[in-house]
Amino acid sequence: MCNIVYIGTSLDGFIADRNGGLDWLQSVPNPDNDDLGWNEFMERIDAIVMGRITFETILGFDVEWPYQRKVFILSNTLKSLPRGFEDKAEIVNGTPSEITSKLEAKGFENLYIDGGKTIQSFLADDMIDELIITRLPILLGGGTPLFGNLPEHMTLDHISTKVLLGSMVTSHYKRRK
């Protein structure tokens, strides 16, 4: 099983602004509408584990559901899915270890882990294998941080870094175990 984070951050490490906004993610012009590696990444993924807040944020985008993979929504409070999402998503709860064990038993091997609190809980439980982080050239000065407290240091190996659209930097790391 491989748990992978793929996310954009501000230079100061935030994944959402103080109001939970994500408009700043569009601050770098993309005239050719390049997917910036998204499709290649999604080819590696069997399923997505995201937090409730991330799920609700995506529902608020007024766009078609963006995922072709099964989505597991990590929540202790959400009791049911909005109508029309029964075949696209499923509510799960438990520790990161319990969730990944359940999904591995269902045949899922590569999970995309998304959402601030979800990523932080997977990191705290040492359940992240790879981080693919795109830093945008903007300082938000506050908001939702990507990283939280960890019980101990976490060492990673740098795999690659590339510049996107002349101003964003994507770095790929693997957990050293």
Domain 2-16+36-175 CATH class label? alpha beta
Higher local confidence (pLDDT), 66 or 137: 137
**Residue ranges of domains in the chain:** 2-16+36-175
The torsion of the CA quartet 82, 20, 120, 164, rounded to 10 degrees, works out to 100
Which of 134, 170, 173, 147 shows the shortest CA–CA distance to 24?
Answer: 134
* Out of 74-78, 108-112, 154-158, least confident range: 74-78
User: Model confidence over 108-130: pLDDT tens digits?
Assistant: 999 999 999 999 999 999 999 99
pLDDT at residue 108 in the model:
97
